[in-house]
Chain A
Amino acid sequence: MSRKFTPKVVTANDLLEGDVIYLAADDRWVRDMKQAEFIEDEAHAQIRLLHAEQQPDVVVGAYLADAALGDDGPEPTHFRETFRTRGPSNYAHGKQEKQAENV
């Protein structure tokens, strides 16, 4: 028996920058997970992943990451995905750099 489907987002790395990106419902690639499309249907998740994989000139290594719906949009459920939303813990580099600028 297959495992029960859990909600997902489509994520990848940007080809040029290497930065973590997410697929939004309107087909844009966004840098903030909260703006990603929250996918609750397994068949739809596969379609969206295929859509991502058909853009090899934009993204690298697309996959489905587990997510939960928070107040402001999708949020990570695993610590690896949490780190991907902000950057390393030893320096304020990566996404947290920009997040700090926006505050």
Chain B
Amino acid sequence: MYKYNDFDDAFLRERTAQFRAQVERRIDGSLTEDEFKPLRLMNGLYLQLHAYMLRVAIPYGTLNSRQMRQLAMIAERWDKGYGHFTTRQNVQYNWPKLRDVPDMLDALADVGMHAIQTSGNTVRNVTSDHFAGAAQDEIEDPRPIAELLRQWSTDHPEFQFLPRKFKIAITGSSNDRAVTKAHDIGLRMVEQDGQPGFEVIVGGGLGRTPMVGKVIRDFLPKADLLPYVEAILRVYNRLGRRDNKYKARIKITVHENGLETIRDLVEAEFEHTRADFMGFDMQALTQIEKHFQPPAFKQADTEGYEAARTANPAFRAWADTNLTPHKADGYAIVSISLKAHGATPGDATAHQMRVMADLAEWFGHDEIRISHEQNVILPHVHRSDLPELYAVLRDAGLATANIGLISDIIACPGMDYCALATARSIPIAQEIAERFDELKLEHDIGPLKIKISGCINACGHHHVGHIGILGLDRAGVENYQITLGGDGTETAAIGERAGPGFSAEDIVPAIERLVHAYLDLRTTRDETFLQTYRRLGAQPFKSALYPEAKANAA
């Protein structure tokens, strides 16, 4: 992974020193809140419902054991002993005190981490495939490009005051695990004549106007990537609407001007940017790529793994659900679920963070990833080490065998923490997970993605959930709307609203009716919820959700 050089380190130290002085000036009254707010947001500090919240960037979701241990230390020393991993592969602390935040940022800088541009109208943390560098279906590890984008976008003087925030996702695989089509810019690696390049997708996004991104360039050679992305940003910076916050994202710019117009403008701008870059970016990339060499994969006997599978059904169930095939022989990608039934999706205690750091160090070539689905990945674990790894996970409450299943729910913090939320998300996720665990149906149901947002901004990605849940305030009462058939992968689709919302009491039974309808409707055990939905359409599912309407119509 990328290691900071002297320049990076000095830059970061200077930023935290600046922020320390800004906090002091806020406290002594020299800065008003209006003056201070943009400064704190530049450094990831929000003021939420009950407290401040510090959002720490985990660039493209990659970190090592030392960094994870530091996150644990920060959680214990300055917060309440836990951290919340988010859909942008970041980590959030929910209870920092204003005076402590500069110390927290210094502690992060000690391990090459920061909270820069995790907020504000700038290019945010670039997200990537959480299996990057390990996936079988990968053309190339996309993280060197992600790091190049991070360095380019950090403090980029032209793009510090964009019309609105800007999110970039990148994947090196044909199977899109990075939700690239729901980003301002999505980059999907593709090959042409044996050369890797990118399909460039623009104008995707969720929020109040969900849109699937559109392909602006079928194939962009890797060498042209940075000047092309800069050209897109320039066109957006010029055309993006600053008069209306709700129309300021690039998806609206593309929608209002039309893809062809935007493409022509970008290509024209690209002529200039390509000339300006003069190859410095590719020199930087060559340096960055040296940091992302694959680990020295080992050879070992996997008989012990096979024996443990036979002997221990719990281990087998976990292995079947939480492992993904690795590109290296004898290896597996381990997904550690942060979705124990009834727990808060994405939360890990300081103790759990240390356990995961230890496991990465002992068995995982010191690599850890955070997924946008709020789980933790050990990308390189040899199968011979899995039985021991599993035992340690189990003792730490981290061995839940539910990756990709109904209880592996994405949920935003919702009104339990967020100042923007219109309803709670976490308790709904907890209740759904507990209910289906009680029914012992989860493995029978198979792959099913439920995603919950506590407001229209859709941090919980509800639009691309197979079942999406959106929490709203309806006349002073929490109300939950269901969307069906969303998909965040390469076959991306925005879910369709099923009908009137449900109260907090009625939403879990409604989900249960929906799932039972699916179990009745599927042709075989292998037909997933999404496949069944695509085959039959929304109607039978709506009938299950609203039995009264069906009775009235009869």
**Interface residues in A1-30 (C-beta closer than 8 Å to B):** 13, 15-20
Which B residue sits closest to A94, measured CB to CB? Answer: B50
CA distance A10 to B544 in the complex (A): 46
Q: For the complex, what is the distance from the CA of A77 to the CA of B347, rounded to whole Å?
A: 31
B549 in the interface (beta carbon within 8 A) = no
In the assembled complex, 27 residue pairs joining A and B whose CB atoms fall closer than 8 Å, in A order, are: A13-B47, A16-B97, A16-B98, A18-B47, A18-B51, A56-B29, A56-B32, A57-B28, A60-B47, A79-B473, A79-B477, A79-B478, A80-B49, A84-B49, A84-B50, A87-B50, A88-B94, A89-B416, A89-B426, A89-B427, A90-B347, A90-B426, A90-B427, A93-B50, A93-B80, A94-B50, A95-B50
**Provided the pairs A79-B477, A80-B415 are in contact, do residues A18 and B50 lie with their beta carbons within 8 angstroms?**
yes
Interface size of A as a range: 20 to 34
Option from A16, A19, A57 in Cβ contact (under 8 Å) with B50: A19
| 57-84 of chain A: CB within 8 A of chain B | 57, 60-61, 77-80, 83-84
Asked whether B27 is an interface residue with its Cβ less than 8 Å from the other chain, the reply is yes
**Is B352 in contact with chain A by the CB < 8 A criterion?**
no
Residues of B within 8 A of A93 (CB): 50, 80, 94-95
Measured CB to CB, the nearest residue on chain B to A13 is: B47
For B33, what are the chain A residues with a Cβ–Cβ distance below 8 Å?
56, 60-61
Minimum CB–CB distance from A33 to chain B (whole Å) comes to 13
Q: How far is the CA of A19 from the CA of B96 in the complex (A)?
A: 10
Query: Which of the residues B51, B415, B426, B477 comes within 8 Å of A19, measured between beta carbons?
Result: B51
> B residues within 8 Å of A by Cβ?
26-29, 32-33, 47-52, 80, 94-99, 344, 347, 415-417, 424, 426-427, 430, 473, 476-478
Contacts of B98 in A (CB 8 A): 15-18
With a cutoff of 8 Å between Cβ atoms, the chain A residues found around residue B32 in the complex are 56
What are the 6 A-B residue pairs with the smallest beta carbon separation, nearest first? Answer: A88-B416, A18-B51, A18-B52, A57-B29, A94-B50, A90-B344
Residues of A within 8 A of B424 (CB): 83, 89
Instruction: Say which residue of B50, B80, B473 sits within 8 Å of A20 (CB atoms).
Output: B50
A17 to B98, CA, bound (A): 6
Chain A proximity of B46: nearest CB distance (Å): 10
A18 neighbours in B (Cβ, 8 Å):
47-48, 50-52, 95-98
- Decide if B476 touches A79 in the complex (CB within 8 Å): yes
* CB-defined contacts of B97 to chain A, threshold 8 Å: 16-18
In whole angstroms, what is the CA distance A13 to B98 when docked?
Answer: 12
Q: Which chain A residue lies CB-closest to B477?
A: A79
Shortest distance from the beta carbon of A57 to any chain B beta carbon, whole Å = 4
Contact assessment for A91 and B51 in the assembled complex, using a CB-CB cutoff below 8 Å: no
Residues of chain A within 8 A of B427, CB atoms compared: 89-90
Q: How far is the CA of A5 from the CA of B140 in the complex (A)?
A: 63
> Is A57 a contact partner of B27 (Cβ separation < 8 A)?
yes
Q: CB-CB < 8 A to B96: which residues of A?
A: 18
Residue of B33, B97, B473 with most chain A CB atoms under a 10 A cut-off: B33
